[in-house]
Chain A
């Protein structure tokens, strides 16, 4: 019983009711067209995508709540307390508040670029959710090369960030956009190189097959420990969290490249950042921590537990460390992480050729 057949059953039941009603009204040809297999397949795919998007949206909102509470505990305060149980509905109240704000466009901004950049960023972040399988029976698409596809979608964002920083017609947004693009492009190299070890050990780019290979042997965090560390550092830099938070440095640049964005655009960009954080934590779990494998509990619950543990590590790093300078960021990326990922590839080749896994 996977997600696709479950949704198909619901869609067939609904379409049967609608076509019976239309047939009773007298439109016999339209009732027959609604029950044809092409229409049912289209509605099924639409329903599966909708269910997965709603689940990802709820996970992202829970992550915002988790970050507020954990960061509060790290700073000796309580975090959100008032709205809902333990302050869980505070995010929904904030979303409603941003929804009611006025839309302000700067007078001398480039309208086309200013309106397009958040559309590209939010759309690509939502596309990332549909590419992540939560278990053997809960996924949207299962293509060969799904791993590369996730990072191809990640690589669209620096382009949109540059456009948005340039189109706001503001010195600080332009500097923030340039910094962001430099950081993201230079950190994509060690990010993709640290995945090569896992791909060599598995022999496949399909995320489901990678998880099955870990269920048969050991979790890849044991033979690929250097790769796991490099991957965690680069994914923190890729979703622009605190130690590599240069593009949004509040002290020097006002709010980085999204200074001029207000109202609902600001709320959606904030949400897109947490979508990307969820995607990064989920890829770390799938590649190195055994995916959805675990005893007793259902696999989806295990996957969510591991994702929230990895995200707790991100929050812990954010609460403990300070911001790094831009030249230090580029030096760490090019002079330290790329040689380390090369060493990791050599270790993977040795293990594979000796036949230890």
Chain B
């Protein structure tokens, strides 16, 4: 029983599915949520390659800064929700 291979397959499937949902979801904030999940999955795959420092910096910069920057960019611009109500 190869534990490493099993867990790598689980996390790789999660990462690829999240990357597909980034493109496919209708609501734009959901896209940013799936993008953050993709970044976390990539960091876990870096852990499997025993590159711990790269994985930690990936979480610190991409999940902690880039996703929040995209959220601010979405929320500070005028747009319409899918229901038609402007927020």
Give A residues with C-beta under 8 Å from B: 33, 36, 38-39, 42, 110, 112-113, 116, 143-145, 148-149, 151-153, 155-156, 158-159, 162-163, 166-167, 174, 178, 181, 185, 188
Contacts and interface: CB of A to CB of B under 8 A. Distances in A.
Contact of B33 (A149, A156, A158, A163): A163
A67 B63 CA distance: 32
A155 B68 CA distance: 10
Contacts, number: 68
A178 B75 CA distance: 9
B29 A148 contact: no
Given A148-B57, A188-B64, 9 more contacts: A38-B1, A144-B52, A145-B56, A148-B56, A152-B57, A159-B63, A159-B68, A163-B33, A181-B68
Contact of A158 (B56, B59, B68): B68
Contacts of A159: 36, 63-64, 67-68, 71
Contacts of B57: 148, 152
A322 B9 CA distance: 51
Contact of B63 (A33, A110, A149, A155): A155
A122 to B, nearest CB: 15
A41 B71 CA distance: 41
B60 A110 contact: no
B63 A156 contact: yes
A151 B61 CA distance: 11
Interface in B61-87: 63-65, 67-68, 71-72, 75
Contacts of B36: 159
Contacts of B72: 181
16 contacts: A38-B1, A112-B30, A113-B33, A145-B53, A145-B56, A148-B53, A148-B56, A151-B60, A152-B63, A155-B64, A156-B64, A158-B68, A162-B68, A163-B71, A181-B71, A188-B64
Contacts of B29: 110, 113, 163, 166-167
A112 B65 contact: no
B67 to A, nearest CB: 5
A144 B30 CA distance: 34
A158 B30 contact: no
B52 A156 contact: no
In order of increasing CB-CB distance, the 3 nearest A-B pairs are A155-B64, A152-B60, A152-B59
A152 B71 contact: no
A125 to B, nearest CB: 15
Contacts of A113: 29-30, 33
Contact of B64 (A38, A110, A152, A163): A152
A113 B67 CA distance: 15
B29 to A, nearest CB: 6
B20 to A, nearest CB: 16
Nearest to B60: A152
Contacts of B71: 159, 162-163, 166, 181
Contacts of B59: 149, 152-153, 155-156
Contacts of B60: 148, 151-152, 155
A167 B81 CA distance: 12
Interface string B22-35: 00000101100100
Contacts of B65: 155, 185
A240 B36 CA distance: 23
A245 to B, nearest CB: 21
A116 B33 contact: yes
A166 B33 CA distance: 12
B33 A145 contact: no
A156 B68 CA distance: 9
Nearest to A150: B56
Contact of B52 (A143, A178, A188): A143
Interface in B3-24: 3
Contacts of A33: 1
Contacts of A39: 1
A149 B64 CA distance: 12
Contacts of B30: 112-113
A110 B28 CA distance: 12
Contacts of A166: 29, 71, 75
